[in-house]
Structure 1
Amino acid sequence: MTLLIVEDEDIIRKGLIVTLRKLEMDFEHIYEAGDGEEGLRLCREYTPDIIMTDIKMPLMDGLTFIRESQKLLPEGQFIILSGYSDFEYARTALKYGVKDYLLKPSTKNEIKEVLTRVVEQLKEQQSLRLELTERIHTYEKKLDRFQELLLGNILSGRYPAGEIGRYLSHYSIVFPEEYMEVLCIRITSAVSSGEPSIDYKNHFMWIASLFTPYYTVYQADILSVYKCLLINFSRMEPGYSQKIWKKAETEIREYGQKHGLRICLSISRAQVSEEALPDLYQEACMLLHCRLFQPEAVIFDPKCQRAAETKIPAVPLTMIETLYHYFIGNSQFDLRQNFYSFIHHITHIEDSSPGYVCECLDRLEEFFAVQSAKDGLEPDTAYRIAFSVSESMTVCSSLEDLTDMFYARLLDYWKLKKEGTAPAAHMASSPVDQAIAYMEQNYYLDLDLSMISDLISMNSSYFSSLFKKKTGMNLINYLQNVRIEKSKQLLLNSNQKLYEISEAVGIPNVKYFCKLFKDYTGVTPSEFRKHEHSF
């Protein structure tokens, strides 16, 4: 806390300073001025908390000084120094918001009493102001978080199209301009080894800052490896938008190189309807999958997709039939060889694209499901392979990772089938088995007890006790066990980095993943991979 004394009589001014130091008043600095003009200069330079000023001074009287300095220091606390002859004058000054006055000469106790009172008032005001600021900040943070979650739910298609406008209005999300686009962003480490800890939030905020000078920008939390921005803008002059993106591409590339990151960004087409937001998000996701085919590119826009899909190759049905033949056979070597040949074919054929790869894998899943039923195998075979094509493309950093991940899932079920332990169809009839089947298939999603109990239409408390009674553990522990087992397969059957594996099994924080893995297995993921590969 700081104090300014404005007094034209040197002996009084210096005497006050000596007195205050003897009283050990808790002021960091005490400034002094011999007239009102000098006092104003010190107010501008040091912004003191408390100002003691005389009334009658040369150049600028006390009242004028108070009026002018209050413009600079609206929160300043003023104390009048007055003699008996100008006491009425001093009382007039109280109308200007002066907190107190001291009659000259004043005793030490009088000075201490007045200053103590003013200091306490000032501290109380500062405390109330701080509390109010914190409340406003907390409210704004909560509102921002609610807005992020709401936009994430909207982009994910969780609300009816006709209700989107009402939800946006309720959470004060306003699109002042006509057009909307969705941006998907993926940030990963460019380092080939180790366990990098990426400060996703700050990197993401930096990327968002590239566009805030030109657009209204909202963040969306979609609970995915991808991060999302929603931008709102008016119609721009031809070429202006391209200049913005070209500049952003250069800056993102340089930023990634500086921080050892691989940053990719996709842009959906522009739309004017809020109801189109889920479709724009799906388009942006598919565009970002193009990074698997263009590892050096930074920004992907709708032109990439149109150029890649002008000619769509035919789905290789013969290869799918051959792969299924090896799936029901006994040779793991043949299964692996044919699966990798199939993936290589669909990803390297001329005019291949993310959309084409998705279609091929969807057809593979469909064929396995139909043919499994014909052959009398479990009808959930296809689901156990866990072909969530879009999610797999989301978590993978390269075509090699995508191939390894799919093969690990295929091999998982092939081994169960070969050992005769594949679950029978009737077992999925109970709520607990339905939940287990769902977790086995969707372990990479952000799951919890409430979500799963809702899916099977049961009270969460009752279902929790039912699940523990049947499995011997609570649902979250069971889910974590599933994730650890899946991560073991990826550690052994792929070259993915640890943070990529942690994301792939639904644990975005690699440090927590490593701790959890060691808790369950007794070794770190790196030790597990090294030990198993040594045999």
Structure 2
Amino acid sequence: MNFKVLVLDDEPKQRKGIIAKINISSLPITIVGEAGDGIEGLELVLREQPDIVITDIRMPGMDGLDFIERAKELNPEIVFVIISGYSDFDFAKRAIKYGVSDYLLKPIDEAELRSNLANIILKIEETRKSRLEMEKLRQDKETNLENLRQQVLTRMVHDPKHAALSEERIMTVSDIIEQFPYILTIVLVIEPFQLPHYSFRVGDEQLIRFAIENMMSDQMKLAGRDGVIFQHAIHQNEMVYILGVDNLNESTAVKEWLTGVLYGVNHYMRLEVTIAIGSIVDSMDKMQKSYELAKLSLRNKIIKGANQIYDYSWIQSHTSSREQIMKEKDEELLFSLLHEGNETALHRWIAQRIQNLVEFPTATYSQLEWFCVDMYLLLRKYLLEKTEDTKLVIGEMDDLQYWLQNLTSWHEAVHQIQSQVTNIIHFLAKDHLVKDVMDEIKQYLVMNLHENISLQSIAERFFIHPTYFSKRFIDKYGQGYSDFLTQLRMEKAAEWLRGTNMKVQEIAEMVGFEGAAYFSSVFKKSHGVSPKEFRQIHRQSE
């Protein structure tokens, strides 16, 4: 297949020279026209429908930039190459912003021109091939009835005993067990993306997942494998692949062909994915375990990032037993810096310690989790020497487990532990001044009713843990923080309504409400009458 090329330059000698160099390049190119200005060039674009246009910038009538803009409106698929002198470099940079493929400086070098055109041809071929594949996928998708299959198989990996498989609709895992002595679960997670993306249009989310299914299936067949692949019915960005294997030592071989899947998704679809391999099991009843271990292996993305393949067997071999991450010298240093109140040094030490841990070649997520748990226990141990109220400052173990489960990056762990250290230092620094921090918080609320005082902002201001603070607050005052704050605001508003002539809007703002309407609604709910009625009642009684 030949590619059609159009050449524009207001100097005939330059045009002829470019055409001559193209003709001897042995590339699959046909010159379909030449022109000396942009106006004539547009006529040729309409008539010849070129694939590639080589154009000068400075031309009479219509210059190269205006020509490119108009020509793209006529045919967005055309690839443009501009030619320019050194003095035109700023124009060339502008043209690149219009989507121009490349620019060449005069005088045109024959080898550079050929290389440039060869690269463009390759890109056009890849784009057309991708478009054809996308069209085929769209056609396939119209006849693809996957919802039932996804739901049934999702139930199976979560609870094999209660998944009723329909042999008429799906290939059952029982079929795999009959063919292979072992099964293995693989999980592929598609990292967040935004459409339009590369060749995919808005609304093509399912098409992307369908394309990845096909890619997995193709790689499976090339490797002589057999299995079932489906999209998780709940986690829409998750693909699950149940694979039949012949022996217990096939994880390495499986990882090799999964590398081809990873490359294909990265290179051809321009998407980021993370793949995890679970454990090899010998029955359907154990398939849930294989799936759960694959999901556990995915956690290693937190320290090593996406676009990786995480193999449970490899991870297990490097974290076979619970390690003591924090040593005695670490405890001594930590306690010493806490005693000094050296917040900067502690932050730096925490950041460096975690960075060293995750950058170690054989590091696993479990080791990061162990470090975080050890740090929490050490901080709690230090606090117990100063106060019995450790939960108020750093929370409970359940809080630690919650934020560990919600980590998306190891940097978040650094920030979380640094925040705990900051809480300890500032809490203890003021502890001798205030016997009960809850009383100080109440005093602060009374003095700052006009502010937007959220529970989180109070926790940060007083260096206490928000979850435990909420529990302590209820124990202390018999009601939740939000209700208590509203009560304080309504009491202060009633006081000002009785004793001042301030407008309702002004009072609303003084007690933290932006609008009088919402303030009036809350006040009426609290006092049974509107602010205006409340004022009238109390003035009549005086």
TM-score, normalised to structure 1, is 0.41
Q: Which has the higher contact order (CA 8 A, sep 6+)?
A: 1
